């Protein structure tokens, strides 16, 4: 995993690679580590009301059941209902960079998320409450500007502004934290695998992405209020009242 990030492991005989893990390298490593049901890459998140997030460095999103509306210059436009996690990449972990990441995360969390019923062999699952499907906020970096991630200054910066909190973060050469079950820190020397395992555990606990109410997305495109039905072939079939 360190090699995938372009960082030579400290226990090899090769000279240490000085540099930062780039967005593209983080994407490659997360794609290899996470199951194929998760899409990983840069996105804009959008909602049925026409809202759009800031450009997100890396998002983890559903690619098994959810549509990607289109892609432009390598950036996907993904419905907010499909987003599991929002990741901001910076070279260093420090308070200004954490605060900047909180703004990016908040731009996705504030979007409207719909939920539709799901048919199954025995009947129908009712729509879920989007509030029960939180979007994870994640910070990815190589270095850390504090001498100790467990110190009071670092902890204060990590836990600041809970309404737009960062749930997990890593500085590969300085430490990693996880707030999803109370603040915890990675053992020294095991930061990357500890962080990756914790991220996968947090994603697994979220279950499957929300079933999107596609009626709400179709109606504005057709100039109608969202009183619509679906054809048998799955296409939107707007029907005016």
Active site residues: 57, 88, 90
Task: State both tokens at 71.
Answer: 């892609």
**Spatial CA neighbour of 215 closest among 81, 91, 115:** 115
Residue carrying structure tokens 């972990």 = 93
Kindly list the distances between the CA atom of residue 232 and the CA atoms of 120, 170, 216, 229, 236, in Å, as whole numbers in the listed order: 16, 47, 18, 10, 10
Please list the residues that pair with 96 across neighbouring strands. none
């Amino acid at each position: 995993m360190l090699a995938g990030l372009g960082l030579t492991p400290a226990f090899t005989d090769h000279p240490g690679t000085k540099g930062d893990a780039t967005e593209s390298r983080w994407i490659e490593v997360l794609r290899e580590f996470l199951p194929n049901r998760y899409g990983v890459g840069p996105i804009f998140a959008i909602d049925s009301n026409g809202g759009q997030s800031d450009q997100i460095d890396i998002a983890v999103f559903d690619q098994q059941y959810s549509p990607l509306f289109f892609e432009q210059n390598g950036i996907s436009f993904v419905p907010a209902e499909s987003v599991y996690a929002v990741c901001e990449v910076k070279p260093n972990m420090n308070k200004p960079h954490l605060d900047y990441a909180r703004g990016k995360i908040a731009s996705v969390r504030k979007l409207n998320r719909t939920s539709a019923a799901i048919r199954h062999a025995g009947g129908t699952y009712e729509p879920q409450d989007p509030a029960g499907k939180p979007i994870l906020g994640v910070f990815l970096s190589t270095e850390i500007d504090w001498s100790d991630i467990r110190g009071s200054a670092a902890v204060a910066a990590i836990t600041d502004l809970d309404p737009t909190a960062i749930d997990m973060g890593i500085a590969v050469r300085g430490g990693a934290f996880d707030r999803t079950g109370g603040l915890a820190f990675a053992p020294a020397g095991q930061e990357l695998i500890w962080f990756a395992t914790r991220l996968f555990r947090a994603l697994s606990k979220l279950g499957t992405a929300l079933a999107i109410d596609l009626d709400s997305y179709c109606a504005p495109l057709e100039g109608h209020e969202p009183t619509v039905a679906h054809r048998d072939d799955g296409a939107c079939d707007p029907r005016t009242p």
